Structure 1
Amino acid sequence: MPVSAAPTPAAPLLTRRAMLQVGAALGGGLLVGFVGPGLAAEPEGSTARVSGFAPNAFIRIDPAGKVTLVMPQVEMGQGTYTSISMILAEELDAAWNQVAVEHAPPNDALYANPVFGLQATGNSNSIRAFWMPLRKAGAGTRAILVQAAASGWKVDPASCRTEASEVIHDSSGRRIGYGALTARAAGLKPPADPPLKDPKNFRLIGRSLRRLDTPEKVNGQAKYGIDAMPPGVKFATFAHSPVFGGRVGHVDDSRAKLVPGFRQVVVLDDLVAVVGDHMWAALQGLAALDISWIEGANAGVDTAQVRARLVAASRRVGVNAKNIGDVAKALEHDPIEVTYDVPFLAHAALEPMNCTVHVSGGGCEVWTGIQVVSRAQAIAAKVTGLPLDKVIVHNHLIGGGFGRRLEVDQVEKAVRIAQHVDSPVKVVWSREEDIQHDVYRPAWHDRLSATLKDGRIQGWHHVITGSSVLARWLPPAFVNGQDFDAVDCAQDMPYDIPNFRVDFVREEPPGVPTGFWRGVGPAHNVFVIESFIDELAHKAGADPVQFRLNMLGKAPRLQAALRLAADKSGWGTPLPPGCGRGVAVQPAFTSWIATVAEVAVDGDGNVTLRRMVCVVDTGIAVNPNTIVAQLQGGLVFGLTAALFGEITIDKGRVQQSNFHDYRMLRLNETPPIEVHVIRSGEMPGGIGEAGTTAAFAPLANAIFAATGKRLRRLPIDRDVLAGRKEA
């Protein structure tokens, strides 16, 4: 049951205003959008000719009253299509049963995420970024519909109200549907700053509505990228060099040509693809090839070498992310010093990487599911040499993104293959290629030092060493050697620490590509910080919950979440022998979360997950059901990584290849997960990745409580827990 938390002032999410504007009629209906920060008035090559502005989200109402919402963000299981639709429909007062959604086409000018400045879905910011712009878009649309009705009735607009896609004039009993008003409303201008609903009057926001995408996912009609089947499509799969950065040497395709359904082999400098009439022919044809590879400079890279480089680099002078007080002086006497390590991780999404492409007649058509649809269009244009307006991208539902589909390599490789095929070709990665040629979550090495005084932390120094994903993925955001994602949740810790310093040392692993992984920087930093906080609590002889509460005076929302998590989990009550509880808190993605894990550890080092309790203050809960589901799913994703997740490298090759050696948490291993959503009136926070971030530290702390063994490396090592080797 939701409980109330004392509201605290929240900093505005967007630093530049979004202005509402309205355009001309399109297709006999009303088209309304908003202009986001830094957007051009009219995008070059736009197919929607909108006078005087270029919105980055749209509401389309047809004369029959159907309300079509064009989604600026993509749906990959996080429920964003439903939540975004609820925000728009709430302020529009649209009838929920008349709402339909469409994928946005690639266009940064129209659909740029206000946080990124490009059309991207990630960082758990779909609702955070679009909360106010979408509310204003809906409210402005509603205002001009009221104006259009009032003008026709010759009454004061203030005497009218809206409900369920109708404008109503109570005193005369007249009412008119939105569809009937589109022609008249198209010539009107909305107010510059339309009044928004008081949250107490919300009809949709705050309700646990069923997701719009569920029915088609249940009946099989939902279309993912892998479901694209243009007429005449052929199938292809391929092999990369097993060594990072290796090249093709020689290919003998004589046996492959004997496979029924085989069509052709495409040999590129870095991969070999087989095209067939169906996927089985492509797979069998690929298996029949005799390929020799030129391994290249990375053939000697291994996990031990990568870690040694990180450890050595951590002694270098880093780039300072935050510095408060006199840390050097605070750490002069008896500092507590530790190091933590986390490994490379793969994404292993249920839907493997895939892309269907047809290059023909001076054009290129792409069918895929991707988090960066405008970048997909751009890479296809670059590979083919075509102008952007000759590249059509159809974006679909995504069967697992987790940050992997923030990359465009699936599109780039498919387009390169398709250039050698006369028909549309569906390029599907095998699970082995998907895991062994991922863009991996970076491995990290962390050095931490702290001192205690009167039961509180007096000094804190955290050196974070690892790859900079941001430097590659968004170079303009990588300023003076600082990667804000790498230090996320480390530089903005919620605790009151008078002497505090965080440094970042960039060290790229030789040959290993790194990228965003669900939870990004916080997934690593919250584990390290909250594990070390737990160590310090025990050094101080303090209860881990109370130790944290004593230093959270400036974070009342997090204090409230922690108190409730302790209460709901039965913190402090007796447990059977071999069992323990662990706690962690986080301010990640502007959601305040406290989590308690309860585990049992047997004499052989086997960990049983008994229970997870998670309390969240994420501000206004647009759809509480979605929040609960995302935290449950995120916790399972994070627990999986903590228990089993590790990509290791030998001789330049990834050693894991499928779910037998890169395993998932099974249903019978998954604990009961309780999620408690605190009622809040603050701006919405992010949720999609917050559960993953919350999983690692409470699990490790619970294992310590059960065994007395502190684990500073992931994944959890059962040999250490069983005493078969040292930590």
Structure 2
Amino acid sequence: MRIQNLEALVGNGWRTDAVAGTVDAAAAAAESPATLGRRSFLKLAGFAGGGLALGVLPLSAAQAQEGGAPKAPPSAPQAFVLIAPDNTVTVAVNRLEFGQGVHTALPMALAEELDVDWRNVRATLAPAGDAYKDPAFGMQMTGGSSALNHSFQQYRELGARARAMLVAAAARQWQVDPASCQVALGVVTSGSHRATYGELAQAAMALPVPQQVALKDPAQFRIIGKPTPRLDARGKLESTTAFGIDTRLEGMKVALVARPPRFGGKVKSFNADKARAIKGVADVMLVPVDRGGTGVAVVADGYWPARQGRDALEIVWEDAGSKVTSKDLFADYRKLAAQPGAVAVAGDVGALAGAARTIDAYYEFPYLAHAPMEPLNCTMQAELSGKTVRSVKVWVGSQFQTVDQAAIARTLGLKPEQVTLSTMMAGGGFGRRAVPTSDYVVEAANVLQAWIRNGHAEPLKVMWSREDDIRGGYYRPLHLHHARIGTDARGQVVAWDHTIVGQSILTGTPFEAFAVKGGVDGTMVEGIAENDYGFPLRLSAHHPQVDVPVLWWRSVGNTHTAFVKETLIDEIAAGARQDPVAFRLARLDEAKHARHRAALQLAVQKSGYGKRRLPKGQAWGVAVHESFGTVVAYVVEVSLVKNEPRVHRVTAGVHANRVVNPMSAEAQVQGACIFGLAALRPGFAIEIENGVVKNSNFPDYPPVRMPDAPPVDVFFVPSEDPPTGLGEPGVPPIAPAVANALFTLTGKRQRQLPFVLA
């Protein structure tokens, strides 16, 4: 199956941002290279004020042309780069910026090949559009740590083509050989001739897009690889950057939805009189919500009256929906783990029976919410003919722009081109803004429909409170692992039998056909199935059906598999009476796992592990793990303070191939490390009782706060290879590294997250 055809396969709105964990990225790249060839690049007409505008054909049109069947571009293809007469260069970023730094990194790739003065570069988030779809996966998306991995080459080629056109325009104007022209900082020179890009841009528009371009030798890079302040930093520091939740439209109303306490529940009856009596409340409406449920939307002049109105509602809910209890699930999962499951890795574990020593361990991992700093929100403005919606404008921080665009269109009975979706900055997401069902934007569209049916026409912003966000479902699944490992008298592993139990993220979606193999969801076993240490391994899985909505959570399956793998490796090393670093290095193949070894050795070297003596009461912990093509090794320094772990310092060795912006890359690893540390904290678990989520806000779902955030020193292994993913790989190894240090301090192995130290 060609990856480009995913759009047709999943045209009903289901998508995934975890494809890097479920579809082999290397295979995808082989079938669908980052650039589709010279015909996919085109000039755009109608640039106001003159200038040069380059875009990319939508994948379907580009593929048709590559196959020899000419196909006209859409009537208004979108630009990737605009060079204006005033010499400014505006780069459209085909992803969502929600803290990871892509708003700067992709413009850096383009600006490098364009040879422009970085001070003249601007960036804008691209709207939903076919031209902006991921060149490998065929959908506009941000996830799977794929932005630079998939679009780095594409943006470089756009910059190189624009540069070639500007040089050609200068050479034609001066009647010189293009080879005699030099380019530096957005200025073209040849002998005594000199012109800025802005002066040449309009003339360049008259020239054809070159069929072939030569990309720079990396030795000539002056932007890529240099620490570069983010283009969006000043606006965020000065509070001038608008996030989705900041959207303000003339006459806009704010809507809050009272959702059923149980997933899939429905309203039996409600009395809106008290809500309508609150000043500012404009309407109260019964609306469809996710998973076939119903809720009540309160629309008001602003958030506070809408919140007061919602609190005043008198709703009687049907005794329906999920009746799940988290504690019962763990008990049920233990029973399942004792039964044969679907086989992911078919290894021979017969040697377990005669092993000199056996480790028999169960691991438990709770449901986890994403809890980004900016709760979910979506603003919509409809163009009406009477009560009929002709088109709609949407402002939302979406990880799945074209997916959500199509879902909104379906809900409102429109075509996707009748939905204009503007990508807004988002305050985090961690996967929650990339939902196969497009739940929160579909809900917003349903609220808009009810609003219009009741005779209103004002734009609406549907907002979620923090409590709504944490109770709103789509959690990282609850998992249980059971590992039985046999070793010989020397402590060498002779067999490893491993079973994982947890809900499948992808079963029931159109991805199931190729991402769920032999009944095993690849997102659940990733991180162990690769068997980095080469042990005799049998891996199996159970996917029980549970009435709790689940979704990928930053680094997907690696969040739990890395913890199990890396704590067990330490336990095996201790049984063999070997240093945990030496034990790992002895089993990581020098050729196959050279990047693992380099990252681990770098972290060890920079931390002083084995050479520097720690203060009394502190211990070292180590873990190394690959996810999304990037290897991260952590060496941590940990103590116990009032029976809670205190992480004093983290040293990271990272192999992410070429690092485009070391400043943002360092921040990504540091942020991911702190994000992962939250999973250790008491209370960091979504608790469900009789179908109702007990958590409500940060006091009972606590993040890591500044006093508890350790220094994180990040070091990158130098590489000339194309960039790999970096938004997620810093999460998985931190929890096992801390757990391994705690064993040295307490003599107790941690078998669950969050830790139990009492």
Structure 1 length-normalised TM: 0.91
**Are 1:14 and 2:29 counterparts?**
yes
Once the two structures are TM-superposed, the CA of residue 491 in structure 1 deviates from its matched residue by: 2.0
**Are 1:706 and 2:745 counterparts?**
yes
Identify the range of structure 1 (335-344 vs 176-185) with the bigger mean alpha-carbon deviation.
176-185
Once the two structures are TM-superposed, the CA of residue 42 in structure 1 deviates from its matched residue by: 8.6
In structure 2, how many angstroms separate the alpha carbons of the residues matched to 1:542 and 1:55? 61
What is the identity, as a one-letter code, of the residue corresponding to 1:268?
V
* Matched residue SS, 2:749: coil
**Are 1:92 and 2:110 counterparts?**
no
**Are 1:568 and 2:610 counterparts?**
no
Identify the range of structure 1 (78-87 vs 478-487) with the bigger mean alpha-carbon deviation.
478-487
Counterpart in 2 of 1:6? none
In structure 1, how many angstroms separate the alpha carbons of the residues matched to 2:102 and 2:509? 23
Counterpart in 1 of 2:180? 159
* Matched residue SS, 1:404: coil
What is the identity, as a one-letter code, of the residue corresponding to 1:296?
A
Identify the range of structure 1 (54-63 vs 327-336) with the bigger mean alpha-carbon deviation.
54-63
What is the identity, as a one-letter code, of the residue corresponding to 2:281?
F
C-alpha distance after superposition, 1:457-514 (max 9, x if no partner) = 44333322212213356525434334332222222243233x3333333223x21100
Q: 1:478 to 1:376 in 2, by over 3 A?
A: same
Once the two structures are TM-superposed, the CA of residue 93 in structure 1 deviates from its matched residue by: 1.1
Counterpart in 1 of 2:403? 375
In structure 1, how many angstroms separate the alpha carbons of the residues matched to 2:644 and 2:516? 44
Q: Residue 296 of structure 1 is aligned with which of 320, 332, 348?
A: 320
Q: Residue 132 of structure 2 is aligned with which of 102, 111, 120?
A: 111
Counterpart in 2 of 1:506? 543
Q: Residue 309 of structure 2 is aligned with which of 285, 288, 291?
A: 285
In structure 2, how many angstroms separate the alpha carbons of the residues matched to 1:147 and 1:50? 26
Structure 1, unpaired ranges of 5+:
1-9, 44-48, 720-727
Q: Residue 461 of structure 1 is aligned with which of 497, 507, 518?
A: 497
Q: Residue 706 of structure 2 is aligned with which of 641, 656, 667?
A: 667
Once the two structures are TM-superposed, the CA of residue 57 in structure 1 deviates from its matched residue by: 7.0
Please tell me whether the aligned partners of residues 621 and 741 of structure 2 are also in contact (alpha carbons under 8 angstroms): yes
Please tell me whether the aligned partners of residues 446 and 463 of structure 1 are also in contact (alpha carbons under 8 angstroms): yes
**Are 1:185 and 2:204 counterparts?**
yes
In structure 1, how many angstroms separate the alpha carbons of the residues matched to 2:28 and 2:584? 27
What is the identity, as a one-letter code, of the residue corresponding to 1:451?
G
Q: 1:700 to 1:94 in 2, by over 3 A?
A: same
Please tell me whether the aligned partners of residues 244 and 397 of structure 2 are also in contact (alpha carbons under 8 angstroms): yes
Please tell me whether the aligned partners of residues 126 and 422 of structure 2 are also in contact (alpha carbons under 8 angstroms): no
What is the identity, as a one-letter code, of the residue corresponding to 1:182?
A
Please tell me whether the aligned partners of residues 443 and 466 of structure 1 are also in contact (alpha carbons under 8 angstroms): yes
Counterpart in 1 of 2:283? 264
What is the identity, as a one-letter code, of the residue corresponding to 1:412?
V
In structure 2, how many angstroms separate the alpha carbons of the residues matched to 1:580 and 1:351? 36
Q: 1:504 to 1:20 in 2, by over 3 A?
A: farther
* Matched residue SS, 2:82: strand
Counterpart in 1 of 2:659? 621
Counterpart in 2 of 1:409? 439
* Matched residue SS, 1:321: strand
* Matched residue SS, 1:312: helix
Please tell me whether the aligned partners of residues 600 and 706 of structure 1 are also in contact (alpha carbons under 8 angstroms): yes
Once the two structures are TM-superposed, the CA of residue 191 in structure 1 deviates from its matched residue by: 4.4
C-alpha distance after superposition, 1:367-389 (max 9, x if no partner) = 11111111221111111111222
Once the two structures are TM-superposed, the CA of residue 244 in structure 1 deviates from its matched residue by: 1.6
What is the identity, as a one-letter code, of the residue corresponding to 1:684?
P
* Matched residue SS, 1:139: helix
**Are 1:59 and 2:81 counterparts?**
yes
Counterpart in 1 of 2:362? 339
In structure 1, how many angstroms separate the alpha carbons of the residues matched to 2:407 and 2:337? 36
In structure 1, how many angstroms separate the alpha carbons of the residues matched to 2:484 and 2:597? 25
**Are 1:440 and 2:475 counterparts?**
yes
Structure 2, unpaired ranges of 5+:
1-24, 66-70, 289-293, 385-389
Counterpart in 2 of 1:243? 262
Please tell me whether the aligned partners of residues 20 and 137 of structure 1 are also in contact (alpha carbons under 8 angstroms): no
What is the identity, as a one-letter code, of the residue corresponding to 1:600?
S
Alignment of 1:579-594 (within 5 A): 579-594=618-633
What is the identity, as a one-letter code, of the residue corresponding to 2:568?
F
Please tell me whether the aligned partners of residues 57 and 134 of structure 1 are also in contact (alpha carbons under 8 angstroms): no
Alignment of 1:315-330 (within 5 A): 315-323=338-346, 327-330=348-351
In structure 2, how many angstroms separate the alpha carbons of the residues matched to 1:460 and 1:129? 36
**Are 1:689 and 2:746 counterparts?**
no
* Matched residue SS, 1:601: strand
In structure 2, how many angstroms separate the alpha carbons of the residues matched to 1:462 and 1:338? 10
Q: 1:259 to 1:56 in 2, by over 3 A?
A: closer
C-alpha distance after superposition, 1:409-448 (max 9, x if no partner) = 2211111112222211111111111111131001111122
Please tell me whether the aligned partners of residues 42 and 209 of structure 2 are also in contact (alpha carbons under 8 angstroms): no
**Are 1:612 and 2:650 counterparts?**
yes
Identity %: 37
In structure 2, how many angstroms separate the alpha carbons of the residues matched to 1:671 and 1:713? 22
Q: 1:706 to 1:193 in 2, by over 3 A?
A: farther
In structure 2, how many angstroms separate the alpha carbons of the residues matched to 1:419 and 1:102? 30
Once the two structures are TM-superposed, the CA of residue 585 in structure 1 deviates from its matched residue by: 0.3
Counterpart in 2 of 1:123? 144
* Matched residue SS, 1:718: coil
**Are 1:102 and 2:124 counterparts?**
yes
Counterpart in 1 of 2:189? 168
Counterpart in 1 of 2:515? 478
What is the identity, as a one-letter code, of the residue corresponding to 1:607?
P
In structure 2, how many angstroms separate the alpha carbons of the residues matched to 1:11 and 1:658? 40
Q: Residue 530 of structure 1 is aligned with which of 563, 566, 577?
A: 566
Counterpart in 1 of 2:20? none
Counterpart in 2 of 1:197? 216
Once the two structures are TM-superposed, the CA of residue 193 in structure 1 deviates from its matched residue by: 4.2
What is the identity, as a one-letter code, of the residue corresponding to 1:284?
Q
* Matched residue SS, 1:692: coil
Q: Residue 309 of structure 1 is aligned with which of 326, 329, 332?
A: 332
* Matched residue SS, 1:587: strand
* Matched residue SS, 2:360: strand
Please tell me whether the aligned partners of residues 42 and 56 of structure 2 are also in contact (alpha carbons under 8 angstroms): no
C-alpha distance after superposition, 1:130-181 (max 9, x if no partner) = 1222222222222222222223333322222321122222xx1322222333
Counterpart in 1 of 2:593? 555
In structure 1, how many angstroms separate the alpha carbons of the residues matched to 2:369 and 2:621? 26
Identify the range of structure 1 (121-130 vs 548-557) with the bigger mean alpha-carbon deviation.
548-557
Counterpart in 2 of 1:73? 95
Please tell me whether the aligned partners of residues 347 and 438 of structure 1 are also in contact (alpha carbons under 8 angstroms): no
Please tell me whether the aligned partners of residues 81 and 91 of structure 2 are also in contact (alpha carbons under 8 angstroms): yes
**Are 1:273 and 2:294 counterparts?**
no
What is the identity, as a one-letter code, of the residue corresponding to 1:533?
I
Please tell me whether the aligned partners of residues 40 and 53 of structure 1 are also in contact (alpha carbons under 8 angstroms): no
What is the identity, as a one-letter code, of the residue corresponding to 1:606?
E
Structure 2 length-normalised TM: 0.87
In structure 1, how many angstroms separate the alpha carbons of the residues matched to 2:468 and 2:657? 40
Q: Residue 212 of structure 1 is aligned with which of 231, 243, 246?
A: 231
Please tell me whether the aligned partners of residues 20 and 136 of structure 1 are also in contact (alpha carbons under 8 angstroms): no
In structure 2, how many angstroms separate the alpha carbons of the residues matched to 1:54 and 1:320? 49
